[in-house]
């Protein structure tokens, strides 16, 4: 049995142009990044993987943000015993970088 697949171009011209510009920026950033001592990345050759990785990164960051908001809604001052280590880490981070905030 032979199947036929029809594809649809669902991009608007403006959306596709914006996507191409963003891909170009990603390729330019990755281009020349050293992936191993003496071996540089080709942003153009790795663009699909790089864009996919960035998409995954966005999802991970969104999940972390959602969890942080949930945690702070439940315990804004991070005073619960289970949040002690987190509170101590935040305190150390801000005290170590206090000059950065002035």
Quote the pTM value. 0.62
- The pLDDT value given to residue 4: 67
Q: Does the structure show a pLDDT above 90 at 12?
A: yes
- The pLDDT value given to residue 5: 72
Segment 20-30 mean pLDDT:
96
Q: What one-character-per-residue DSSP string does 30-97 give?
A: HTT-EEETTEE--TTTTHHHHHHHHHHHHHHHHHHHHHHHHHHHH-TT--SGGGHHHHHHHHHHHHHT
């Amino acid at each position: 049995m032979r199947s036929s697949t029809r594809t649809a171009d669902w991009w608007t011209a403006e959306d596709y142009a914006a996507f191409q510009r963003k891909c170009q920026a990603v390729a330019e950033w990755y281009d020349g990044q050293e992936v191993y001592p003496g071996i540089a990345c080709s942003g153009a050759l790795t663009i699909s993987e790089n864009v996919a990785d960035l998409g995954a990164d966005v999802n991970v960051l969104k999940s972390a943000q959602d969890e942080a908001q949930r945690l702070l809604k439940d315990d804004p001052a991070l005073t619960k015993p289970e949040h002690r280590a987190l509170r101590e880490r935040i305190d150390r981070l801000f005290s170590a970088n206090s000059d950065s905030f002035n």
